[in-house]
Chain A
Amino acid sequence: MAATPLQEDVTLLPETIARTLGLDAYGFAGQILAALIGAFIVGNVMLAMTGVAGPWAKRKITAAFTDRIAVNRVGPFGLLIIVADAVRLLSKELIVPENVDRPAWDLAPLVVAGSALLGFAVIPMGNGIHLADPEVGLAYVFATASLASVGLVMAGYASNNKYSLLGGLRAVAQNVAYEIPLVVTGVSVVIFAGSLRMGEIVAVQRETLVVLAGVPIPSWFAIVNPFAFVLFVVANLAEVGRNPFDTPEAPTEIVAGYQTEYSSVYFVLFYLGEFVHIFLGGAIIATLFLGGPAGPVLPGFVWFVIKIWAVFLFTQWARSAMPRVRIDQLMEIGWKGLLVLSFANLVLTAIIVGVIA
């Protein structure tokens, strides 16, 4: 059914930029420049969202869940706390503990923050904001997202701190355990969509599934296959390390896990990286299951942002209300529960799609 590409007018962001700025004339160099400008824009939008989320929105959301008020002194709704916090965090002394494994220790925060940003390259954000749409889009997203585990292990090992080491080990064990169900569940969507191309996956979901009382219900995969959606959301919680799966950081057990020894800018990078990861998780969920930028009335990009913030809100909700599972229980849930369920989902999807098609 998805044999013919449903995507029309696929103009990617770099192409638009190149055309607008007249960079077409410079050939390959112009293309690269346009791509860089596009990446710069997307990266900064994402970082700006993280900037809002980290120092401000997270506090406000958690406060709402826990009966508090949170920041309200600096600026309207305490919004200027973002500026104040940025200054505060960046002006802190960067403490480098003795005997840290230097290149690895310095690179880890960059890997964590960078890997998450890379993923956004293939995410269609609506209104033509889409950097690239390769054939292997979905595989690329999963690959870049899991690069973060390398960063976490580097941080954990290079810090020369036992809490960091425990955190790093937990992080890698957890990411391996939960990436498989995540990818396998993603594959079940691919079976429906018939393509790994992100633009294609979004386009497929634009079709109308049923019309209920005059309202057309789109065939978002969250509606078509809610089971896969739930599996994916749960695995994603583990992937971004939020309750009930925040064992790699587990503040009351292993202090702060892999980031125990990091301060100042390095800490900011970790902190940002985590939020970018949550947003990337949200973007993947939005693209795979929630129709990407699709939505009525509002422009596509706004819908896209709303969707990833909804996922962010969900992670914060889980964080405020759910206890943390123990590391062995986490492994058990991952390997014995989610993995089995995700394969069951894959096989079922394959059969259903095979029978229908």
Chain B
Amino acid sequence: MKRGPLARIDSRRGAAIATAVFAALAALPASATEPAGIGAGWKALTLLNADGALRAFSTAGAAANLPEGREARFGRALALLAKQPITPAQVDEARSICAELAAGGIDDAAQGAGYFLGRIAQHHQETPDLAEAARQYRRLIEAHPSSIWADTARTRLAVLELYAPAPEPAPARLAHVAGILATARTPAARSELHLLMADAIFYFGLPVADSLPHLSAAEKLGLLDGPARADVLVQIAEISAMTGDIAQARKFYQAYLAEFPLDQRQFMVREKLRALEG
């Protein structure tokens, strides 16, 4: 019986070859052996599956010097912030990784890590440090003004400017946020900042007419989801009516009626419209 070449390999040689093959595979960059590692990690984290994410990022992060390694480190930091039960040691480790990434580059991982240094100070650590959070957001905005992370930081900084303890009166706080709004790059951030300003005007009892430009701007940006859009249409109509712009009030009441036929305010808005027309 003719024997094939493999049959001639004895078990000791076979074992040596297998070992060599595994060693060679192990020496390859993580991204080559586990092309889906980082993607799988992010996917797991979208569902807050921190354990799955940590496994995926640790596989992908084997080559820490490559860009994939930095992204995997960033992923690991975020997974640590989600792994239940969240311990102070985990938060500390996440903060160290973010600090190292933010200081060690200008890539997406550095920008995201810079943003998370602010978030960790604001919400994730046991005792929030709002001043440190604001400092981190400002640093990120200055270093990477065009990044999506910086725009997100602008919205968080605006919240702190409006509501963090400080002796400044409400109008001065709103002026700070107007300054932040002027530098925001993305429509998403601009929309959020306009809504924040309008809401702060209502909350602090400032003249309601001042909210109108912000509500109109948010509406024009077109990024409001269903319930938020219904609110803004009603708000524009109501404030327009209060400030005497009846044509605009009518236009926005009608837009609301047309777009949200099943909303609970239909009757009230129809009554308002009838009163304007009467």
Q: Do A and B come from one complex?
A: no
Task: Please report A residues at the B interface, Cβ cutoff 8 Å.
Answer: none
Task: Please report B residues at the A interface, Cβ cutoff 8 Å.
Answer: none
